[in-house]
Amino acid sequence: MISDLKGTFSKISNNNKRSAIREILKLTQNPEIISFAGGLPAPESFPVDALDTIVSDMLREEGAAVLQYDATEGVKELREVLLKKYTDEGTQATLDNLIITTGSQQGLDLVGKVFVNEGDVVICGLPSYLGGIGAFQAYGAKMAGVPMDEQGMSAELLEAKLEELKQQGIKPKFIYVIPDFQNPTGITMPESRRLEIIALAHKYDVLIVEDCPYREVRFDGQPQRMMYDLDNNDHVITLGTFSKIFAPGFRIGWILGPKDVNEKIVIAKQSADLCTPTFVQKIAVRYMNSGVFETNLKKTIDLYHQRRDVMLSELEKHMPEGVKWTHPEGGMFLFITLPEHMDAMDLFHKAIEKKVAFVTGNVFYCDGGGKNTMRLNFSYVNNEKAIAGVQRLAEIIKAEMQV
Ligand code: PMP
């Protein structure tokens, strides 16, 4: 090994920390543990049989072509299919506005790469998806957190933050939001809040990065229009993905954004991976055109709907007074707030001993807050385990409250 490996690593690499969630998830690998910790879709929701047919038909009919490199922007037919889904809903966009990424995680990374210089400020919710925060911080972003209420990022506090930064001569690069069934809280922004945030983005001349992995996984309530559609003034870049509505193993996501932004992103993507795998993109085209996408998505939504209901009713039955939780209308997560004085990290270790796991909420707070919060995933664990897991968790919380 060379003498100064640390000094040889780049500044960014030396600054990068291991993801706190990955560390937590390592502790939850034991199969005896009932884990509400991960963010995994239910494997039962993956369309294995349909894909079996699609892949063999595709190889027989298209042969080597599906194994070739393709455009960095993505396979044209896939971009067209996705674009049509949006334009059918009324979105004003052309093919230039839509490019394929290798999961929306790559979308977040590329957004960081094309916008963030070291020390730039990026605004996010308190709490917010850790993978987003990590992607921006990797390029040296300073994250400025804005507290959320039950309708998402507070517009009032966002304005206060934007004003405070303005007084210091700082213009943030963008506002990062997850408007539908947010990770980690499960909260959805109503249209009024979306409009308020867009108005602030216009007033302070800041971009919005709208991350929408869960948008289509809605169980009840009314679908909300995307911020991309509500804005129509090139202030919004939207990230989409197949991970929660088809299969995360495909690693297919996309960016719906202004043409000028997409051009820069394509250049950045070229040096990242040349193109998202052609093979999976071609499968996705056939899958979308087969009609199975809609029926399978409906089954997935029904499954998660039922799992959410079970989790909510078990929480209601067993959680002691003083513990609160969100009631998401879709997605995969809900968020628990314990009484102020409690620390979810202490509970975590006790929970692991009792073979139940969750993610402590503090990892999603870029300001180090959220010590008395925890995230529970309801998409992965079956009903029987969910019932046992919530009971165990409630017992641990009750015992800790009496200390
Ligand atoms: N954004 C959010 C809010 C997420 O929760 C996730 C995955 N859990 C991603 C982006 C990344 O998803 P993928 O790369 O699988 O599309």
pLDDT in tens, 139-183: 999 999 999 999 999 999 999 999 999 999 999 999 999 999 999
> Helix (H, G, I), strand (E, B), or coil: what is residue 258?
coil
> Helix (H, G, I), strand (E, B), or coil: what is residue 195?
helix
Q: Closest Cα partner for 306 from 399, 378, 213?
A: 378
From the CA of 321, how far away is ligand 1's center (Å)?
Answer: 33
pLDDT confidence bin for 20, thresholds 50/70/90: low
User: Ligand 1: which of 211, 215, 255, 256 to mutate, most ligand atoms within 8 Å of CB?
Assistant: 211
Ligand 1 in reach of 35 Cβ (< 6 A): no
From the CA of 167, how far away is ligand 1's center (Å)?
Answer: 34
Dihedral angle sign, alpha carbons of residues 26, 32, 37, 40 = positive
From the CA of 104, how far away is ligand 1's center (Å)?
Answer: 6
- The residue with tokens 């987003």 is 132
- Give CA torsion, residues 243, 249, 250, 256, to 10 deg: 30
- The residue with tokens 């009750």 is 398
Ligand 1, atom 5, lies closest to the CA of 183
Q: Whole-angstrom Cα distance, residue 285 to residue 283?
A: 5
Ligand 1 in reach of 262 Cβ (< 6 A): no
| CA distance to 33, 139, 208, 364, 371, per residue, from 19 (Å) | 21, 15, 24, 11, 17
Least confident of 206-220, 242-256, 276-290, 389-403: 389-403
Q: Whole-angstrom Cα distance, residue 282 to residue 74?
A: 10
* Model-level ipTM above the cut of 0.90: yes
Ligand 1 in reach of 211 Cβ (< 6 A): yes
From the CA of 82, how far away is ligand 1's center (Å)?
Answer: 18
Ligand 1 in reach of 210 Cβ (< 6 A): no
* Residue 50 CB coordination number (10 Å): 17
Q: What is the pLDDT of residue 30?
A: 84
Number of H helices, E strands in the chain: 15, 14
Q: What percent of the chain has pLDDT over 70?
A: 99
Dihedral angle sign, alpha carbons of residues 33, 37, 39, 42 = positive
List of residues 6+ apart from 165 with CB closer than 8 A: 121, 144, 171, 172
From the CA of 169, how far away is ligand 1's center (Å)?
Answer: 33
Does the pLDDT of residue 23 top 80, yes or no?
no
Ligand 1 atom with minimal separation from the 107 CA: 14
Please give the structure tokens belonging to residue 227: 């911020």
pLDDT confidence bin for 1, thresholds 50/70/90: confident
| CA distance to 55, 101, 251, per residue, from 289 (Å) | 14, 20, 19
Does the pLDDT of residue 21 top 80, yes or no?
no
The length of the chain is 403
Whole-model pTM? Answer: 0.96
Backbone φ and ψ of 177, nearest 5°: -135, 155
Q: Closest Cα partner for 175 from 254, 122, 106, 104?
A: 122
Ligand 1, atom 8, lies closest to the CA of 39
Q: Say which DSSP state 3 is in.
A: T
Give the per-residue SS3 of 106-130. Answer: HHHHHHHHHHCCCCCEEEEEECCCH
> What mean pLDDT comes out for the span 100-123?
98
Ligand 1 in reach of 182 Cβ (< 6 A): no
Q: What is the pLDDT of residue 232?
A: 77
User: Ligand 1: which of 22, 25, 40, 105 to mutate, most ligand atoms within 8 Å of CB?
Assistant: 105
Ligand 1 atom with minimal separation from the 252 CA: 16
